[in-house]
Structures are given as C-alpha cells and as structure tokens.
C-alpha cells in the first residue's frame, strides 16, 4: 500500500533486509528507496515489517518487525512476555543478547561522534558492576494508570496503558510494592521507588502534598595520579520523584570514573554544573579540601534544597539554584509560538557566585545536552580538565564539536550499559586543552 506521495502507508507489510542500528533504538531498512526505522529487529536480519507511522512527507516510516525471516546470531528469546510489537514500549532490545546490545550501543556512540564531531573514536560499552543478566535493576519505575485505575506501562509512542503483571527490569523492591496488582482510581501515574537505604515507596501522581524523601548511599573508590586510592562513602537525601540514577550500581560507577579523570587537587576551584543533589560536588569538595572551592549549579529548587542539606558539612561548596545558562548569563532561545514573532531571547545577568576561572569543570546535562552558549562559557573558564557525563550520544557529539571550537579536545571516553534491555547508554568524556587549539 502506497501513501499520497508514493511511499508506504500505515498498515503496509513489507519484507526487508536490516542493515544498521540507529540512535534511538531503531534498526534501519529500505524498501524501494524509502527508509524504514524498524523496532524489534537488529542488523543482519531479514524481517516482515508492518508500518506503524510515517514521517514528514513520507520520506521515512516507522515499523515493527512482526516476523523474523532470517535471524541474526545475537537474537535471543525476550525474557519479558510484554516486550514486542504492540506491547510495552519500555524495553527495545530484549530480543538481543547482552553482548549484542552493548555492541549496538557502542556502534551508535562511534557513529554519532563520527557524524557530528568528525572524530573516529574506538569505544566499548562496559557493564555496570552488579548487573549479570540485565534484569531486576531499575530502582525507579513510573507506572501509568488508565481510566479504570489499572496500573501498567505505556505502549511505544502511545498513551495506551499495557496492564503488565510486573516489570522484568524492575528491582525487587519495586516488585514488592505490587503496583500492578492494585487499583489507583483518579491517578495519572504511580512512581515506584526502591531506595538503597529504606523501604520502597509508591508515590501517587498527582499528589497535593510534598514528595517523600528517600536516602541513597554511594560507595566508590578511584586511583589518583600519585598512586594513591581515594575511598568515598556518603548518603544523599533526594526527593522520591527527583533525579537519581536508576541502576543501583550507576552512581558509584560514574562517580569513580569522573573523579579519576578530574584528579582534583587540594586548593583547586571546581564547578559542578547540573549538580542534582550534590553527588559530584561532595566528592569534589573532599578532593579540593577546605582551601579549595566548589560551585554547584542546579535549576531544580527541590534538588538544590537537598544538595545544601547533603553538603552542609562541606562549607567550601556554594550551591546555586539557577538554570546553568541563566547562571552564566547565556541568552535562552526565544520561544516560538503564536504572537511571539520578533521575540527577543531571554537573558539574565551572570551570577556573581560563578568564578571567572576554574581548574575543574564537571557537567551532567539533560538529554538535550549543554549547547553552544554553555560550552563556550565552560571553555572561557580555561579549566585544566572538563569531564562530561552524557546520557545521549548525539548531544555529547554535538557538544564535543562545540568544546573543540573553544580549544578543548576529547582525550578519553568510557561508555556504560546503565540501562540494559534498552537503547540508552551513558558516557563519561574527558576534555583537555588542545595545544593546537585556540
């Protein structure tokens, strides 16, 4: 079946060869010159695919692989019966072995850096400690609630709720709440949270009251350039619905990786941008000591309130509640929409708490990345090292190119499988001043 412009229309079935894996969890195939982004398959397979939606001008279509004609060696039986076409949209790689998943993710990281930053970087995706099978790890799960009060998980690109029995990647503490076995009339969602140091909690959404506070304990160790080993152990208060790494081994792994790369020294000045509740800021404060300084910036007011409490015994830390672009005085793009033609970008004055220079910068931006203005401000500080924690390879690649414009080269890159069974991958990138840059 062809659409108005001659391409495939929704519902069409075609048999295609899958050639590559794309950023976002889709594999790529072509039919009569038209690109298909196909879920539930992997490169090297021949599948029968059903078109589920079309793109602008039908230049591409999205599809589900509903039958495998020729399977790739990495294909396995999905451990979850709710994974597959028309079912839960949370896991998009359950049909691939763990080794195969990590190889696909590494390929995406390499491809994005090559395409957007013009760098050829060899990288492997490492497992996060404590994860053997890729299941039972997710400590925070948001269950959607349908009109009848039943909790479940959403279909891919849909508001429909799939009434699953339980989530196979959820941590045991989440399962103990038995959210899907209860009814939740009048709610939009239920957030199930299994913190490290407390009983699991179910948070009703919406809820007029303040969210409960949970506590997460982090232990980590890392080598220093002088041959010593630093050990870290600390408990952090965080809002149950606030940001925290969902894999129980992720926070410690990322902290150890970041701190080994920055190798912060006594008396230095460090910036922790997008600081959350203060994980990196706390370790940086220990490293720079009472004669050093750490400035931590975070836009979420609840998170910075917790950060100030978490870091109260470290007076060398200043916590700033502000968007990072606002703190630097970087103009926000003008909002688009009716009546906004000619609107000027929003701009605030640079925060007086941000120093004119820094020795170390750590940034952990949201999925959209830091962007041109913030990357430019970071490089103007002329730090001796920048460490960037990225949850999106494309955003990392774009910002890598922007940091290069400011005279900083990519020196090291590690990638971690902090979200098994999904296409998501976390990267920690280290940037140093480029002697050949400006």
Which pLDDT does position 132 carry in this prediction? 79
H or E element: which one contains 400? helix 393-405
Spatial contact of 396 and 430, defined as CB atoms under 8 Å apart: no
Which pLDDT does position 340 carry in this prediction? 58
> Measuring CA to CA, which residue among 380, 429, 389 is closest to residue 409?
429
Which pLDDT does position 342 carry in this prediction? 56
Domains of the chain, first to last: 1-74 (2.40.50.140), 140-205 (no CATH), 213-332+345-433 (3.40.50.150)
The yes-or-no verdict on residue 2 having pLDDT over 80 is no
The yes-or-no verdict on residue 3 having pLDDT over 60 is no
Q: Helix (H, G, I), strand (E, B), or coil: what is residue 285?
A: helix
The yes-or-no verdict on residue 336 having pLDDT over 80 is no
Which pLDDT does position 338 carry in this prediction? 61
Instruction: At 393, give phi and psi (nearest 5°).
Output: -65, -35
Strand arrangement, sheet containing 151-154: 161-162, 151-154, 140-145, 189-193, 201-205
pLDDT tens digits for range 384-400: 999 999 999 999 999 99
Which pLDDT does position 438 carry in this prediction? 59
- Whether 275 sits among the annotated catalytic residues: the reply is no
Which pLDDT does position 375 carry in this prediction? 98
Least confident stretch, 25-29, 197-201, 207-211: 207-211
Which pLDDT does position 28 carry in this prediction? 97
Q: Provide the β-strand partners of residue 30.
A: 35
Which pLDDT does position 348 carry in this prediction? 78
Q: How do beta strands 293-298 and 229-239 pair?
A: unpaired
> Measuring CA to CA, which residue among 222, 243, 238 is closest to residue 286?
222
pLDDT confidence tier of residue 333, bands split at 50, 70 and 90? confident
Q: Which residue has the tokens 């994974």?
A: 83
pLDDT tens digits for range 338-386: 655 655 667 778 999 999 999 999 999 999 999 999 999 999 999 999 9
Burial per residue of 333-370, b for 16 or more beta-carbon CB atoms within 10 angstroms, e otherwise: eeeeeeeeeeeeeeeeeebeebeeebbbbbbbbeeebb
For the four alpha carbons of 401, 404, 410 and 416, in that order, the dihedral sign comes to: negative
Q: Which residue has the tokens 């659409």?
A: 3
Please give the distance of CA 160 from its chain centroid, rounded to a whole number. 24
By percentage, how much of the chain surpasses pLDDT 70? 94
d(CA 123, CA 109): 8
d(CA 139, CA 200): 9
pLDDT tens digits for range 162-206: 999 999 999 999 999 999 999 999 999 999 999 987 899 999 999
Averaged pLDDT for residues 410-434: 97
The yes-or-no verdict on residue 268 having pLDDT over 80 is yes
Q: Provide the β-strand partners of residue 428.
A: 389, 414
Query: Which of residues 333 and 312 earns the better pLDDT score?
Result: 312
Q: Among 91, 167, 375, 391, which one carries the catalytic annotation?
A: 391
The yes-or-no verdict on residue 5 having pLDDT over 60 is no
pTM of the predicted model over 0.75: yes
pLDDT tens digits for range 79-103: 999 999 999 999 999 999 999 999 9
Count other Cβ atoms within 10 Å, centred on residue 70: 11
């Amino acid at each position: 079946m062809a659409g108005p412009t001659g391409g495939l229309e929704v519902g069409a079935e075609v048999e295609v060869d899958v050639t590559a894996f794309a950023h976002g969890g889709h594999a790529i195939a072509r039919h009569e010159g038209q690109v298909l982004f196909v879920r539930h398959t992997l490169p090297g397979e021949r599948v029968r695919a059903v078109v589920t939606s079309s793109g602008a001008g039908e230049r591409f279509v999205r599809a589900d692989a509903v039958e495998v004609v020729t399977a790739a060696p990495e294909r396995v039986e999905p451990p979850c019966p709710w994974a597959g076409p028309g079912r839960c949209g949370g896991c998009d790689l359950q049909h691939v072995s763990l080794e195969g998943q990590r190889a696909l993710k590494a390929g995406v990281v390499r491809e994005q850096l090559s395409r957007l930053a013009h760098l050829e970087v060899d990288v492997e995706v490492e497992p996060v400690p404590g994860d053997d099978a890729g299941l039972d790890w997710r400590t925070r799960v948001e269950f959607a609630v349908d009109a009848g009060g039943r909790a479940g998980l959403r279909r891919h690109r849909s508001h429909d709720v799939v009434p699953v029995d339980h989530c196979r990647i959820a941590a045991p503490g989440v399962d103990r709440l038995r959210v899907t076995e209860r009814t939740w009339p009048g709610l939009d969602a239920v957030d199930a949270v299994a913190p490290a140091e407390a009983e699991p909690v179910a948070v009703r959404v919406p809820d007029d009251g303040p969210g409960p506070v949970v506590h997460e304990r982090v232990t980590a160790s890392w080598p220093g350039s002088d041959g010593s080993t630093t050990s870290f152990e600390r408990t952090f208060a965080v809002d149950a619905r606030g940001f925290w790494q969902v894999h129980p081994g992720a926070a410690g792994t990322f902290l150890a990786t970041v701190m080994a790369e920055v190798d912060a020294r006594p008396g230095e000045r460090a910036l922790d941008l997008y600081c959350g509740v203060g994980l990196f800021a706390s370790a940086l404060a220990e490293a720079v000591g009472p004669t050093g300084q750490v400035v931590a910036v975070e836009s979420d007011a609840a998170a910075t309130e917790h950060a100030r409490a978490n870091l109260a015994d470290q007076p060398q830390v200043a916590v700033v509640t502000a968007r990072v672009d606002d703190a630097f005085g970087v103009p926000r793009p003008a909002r688009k929409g009716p009546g906004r033609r000619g609107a000027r970008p929003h701009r605030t004055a640079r925060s007086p708490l941000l120093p004119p220079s820094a020795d170390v910068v750590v940034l952990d931006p949201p999925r959209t990345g830091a962007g041109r203005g913030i990357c430019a401000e970071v490089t103007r500080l002329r730090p001796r090292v920048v460490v960037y924690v990225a949850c999106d390879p494309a955003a990392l690649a774009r910002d890598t190119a922007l940091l290069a414009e400011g005279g900083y080269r990519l020196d090291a890159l590690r990638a971690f499988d902090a979200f098994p069974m999904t296409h998501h991958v976390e990267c920690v990138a280290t940037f140093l001043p480029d002697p050949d840059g400006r």
